[in-house]
Structure 1
Amino acid sequence: MRNLLYIIILLVATGCGYSNSYPEALDEAQRLMQSDPSAALSRLNGLDVSEFHDSATMARWALLYSEAMVVNKLAAPTDTIVNIAVDYYGRNNLTAEFQKASRLKAMMGAAGKRDDLATALYLQKEKEFMLYRERTRREQIMFVGIIILLIAAGVIAWMRQRIRMQSLQNEALMAEASGLRSRIAASRGDVSRLETTLQGLLDKRFDLIDSLCQTYYESQGTKTERKSIVDKVKSEIESVRTDSFPEMEKAVNACRNNILEEIKKSWPDMKPDDYRLLVYLASGFSTRAICLLLDESTDVVYKRKSRLKSRLKERCGSLERDISAVF
């Protein structure tokens, strides 16, 4: 497409170079028309009209040539040349030039002396005009062809750009779909882990109930019934404090978007007692249960809970939503 544009520019530049000299020659012939009409006619005969590049120059030459024939009192064998001027000026509504061309046509029809050389030159100019007309027709066809090629090239470029954009959109959609599949797979993995964790917690809860029931059944009707149950509960509470604590951490991180690990990163020097309280809170234990697990009074737990919440908001502002869900 770029080469095609270069060709068009070259053709235009070449045409301008050829046509620049013709107006000067016509001006010179017009100046000589009254002082030396024979020289004016000779100057006009010296121009190769087949090389003209526009119809306006051709019409002006035809008008001057017809005038030179009349002024030199020479008979024209045909009306071909004067008709060039008549047709052009009439078609373009140039009244003064059209009227002058019409008068010259009428005057050329009157009797004038015949000159074999002038007739031969006149017929030669007719042939040159025919060549000019044929060349302009070819140029018009070529111009139309170039325009069609440019339009076709533009359409092709537009279609290629559209296809490229569509391809990029498809790639973006495919990447997004791939990301969604990855997230869905990750979510399924999280759900599976949560199900496993919850199932384990549920099993342990039933184990605890089963253990308490067995203790109650074995101790029922004896004096040691209450003491055995209390001892068993204390034993289970101590187990929660020690053995079950790591499992609680894992469950909280799995169920609450890894909140404990994020808090550790934001607050690395957090006290162990505060961290334990945080884990119990995130696990959903009631205040009374936390009192038993921490061996603290209710008032102390409430105060520690309030203080912990404030410090977490100061240290871990980016996790405020997750922290609020815990408290």
Structure 2
Amino acid sequence: MIHRFIFLNDSLTRATLQTSAGMIEKEYFRERTAFADYRMRSRRIGEAAAAVILLLVVAAGVLLVRQRMRLQRERYERELLLAGEVREKYRELVRQTEQTLHAENRMKGILATRFDIVDRLGKTLYERENTASGQAAMTRQVKRLIDGFAADGEMLPELERIVDIVHDNAMRKLRRDFPGMKQADIRLLCYIFGGFSPQVISLFMHDSVANIYARKSRLKTRIRNSESPERELFIALLEQKSDPCQKSDAE
């Protein structure tokens, strides 16, 4: 009976142990299965998230490339438009330059011909006035021509315009930089800038040559001591050779 009890007890213990082992194994496999399902779901979620992120990156890349292409196309079109505007401005500038050169050449021709003749005739009148009866007609003609350049003469505004064209708006800049300068001094500088000699200017202004030289020296000193940005231009025009006949007379 004891052996039978021990046998039955061992059998019961083995059965209990086997049942416990089976339940533990079942629980283990159930947990393994749940963990595998969790890993599968996590993998699927990760793959889906990666796919979504990849799609977003691709979409963003496509949008960025399209945006850059659009900006580049707009910049190219804008550059073409600017190039066209620059080309038109260049052509307009060339036309204006050609017109300016033509006007300058024309005015320089006037200065080289008409005013040179007036200057020479004025000197002749100054030196030989009333020296012979044969000079009377020439004297009257030269006087009429000289009077055209006087204070109220019709040639004075034209002379000022020509000086502005030939000498970089010298008279306009003179009036701008010296608003308080007397009108007589401005007229004297206009004659000097136009290339007339002191002898002829004395006829224009009905003054002596000595006074013309003195006023010229005074104006030169005033301009030299001023703060005008165009001081060098005015000084250069004041120091230009205004008596083309002196060289020939000396020779």
1:113 to 2:21 alignment: yes
Match of 1:41 in 2: none
Deviations 1:206-232 (A, max 9, x none): 9879x9xxxxxxxxxxx7335554554
Change (3 A) 1:243 1:128: closer
Deviations 1:32-74 (A, max 9, x none): xxxxxxxxxxxxxxxxxxxxxxxxxxxxxxxxxxxxxxxxx99
Tell me the distance in 2 between the aligned counterparts of 1:317 and 1:202. Answer: 29
Change (3 A) 1:323 1:169: farther
Change (3 A) 1:244 1:270: same
Cα distance, 1:248 vs structure 2: 0.8
Change (3 A) 1:165 1:314: farther
Ranked by relative contact order (alpha carbons within 8 Å, sequence separation 6 or more), the top structure is 2
Is the Cα–Cα contact under 8 Å of residues 252 and 259 in structure 1 kept in the other structure? yes
What one-letter code is carried by the residue in structure 1 that aligns with 2:189?
L
Tell me the distance in 1 between the aligned counterparts of 2:149 and 2:57. Answer: 87
- Counting only pairs closer than 5 Å after superposition, residues 1-327 of structure 1 correspond to structure 2 as 113-115=21-23, 117-118=26-27, 119-166=29-76, 169-198=79-108, 204=114, 224-226=133-135, 228-230=137-139, 232-241=141-150, 242-313=153-224, 317-327=228-238
Q: Tell me the SS of whatever aligns to 1:262.
A: helix
Tell me the distance in 2 between the aligned counterparts of 1:251 and 1:306. Answer: 24
What one-letter code is carried by the residue in structure 2 that aligns with 1:238?
D
Tell me the distance in 1 between the aligned counterparts of 2:227 and 2:175. Answer: 9
What one-letter code is carried by the residue in structure 2 that aligns with 1:137?
E
TM-score by length of 2: 0.60
Tell me the distance in 2 between the aligned counterparts of 1:121 and 1:226. Answer: 139
Change (3 A) 1:224 1:235: same
Tell me the distance in 1 between the aligned counterparts of 2:78 and 2:180. Answer: 49
Deviations 1:90-115 (A, max 9, x none): xxxxxxxxxxxxxxxxxxxxxx9334
Identity %: 18
CA RMSD of aligned residues (A): 4.0
What one-letter code is carried by the residue in structure 2 that aligns with 1:283?
G
Match of 1:65 in 2: none
Q: Tell me the SS of whatever aligns to 1:257.
A: coil
Change (3 A) 1:234 1:155: same
Tell me the distance in 1 between the aligned counterparts of 2:227 and 2:99. Answer: 27
TM-score by length of 1: 0.49
Aligned length: 207
Is the Cα–Cα contact under 8 Å of residues 252 and 282 in structure 1 kept in the other structure? yes
Deviations 1:117-140 (A, max 9, x none): 434453344344333333323333
Change (3 A) 1:166 1:314: farther
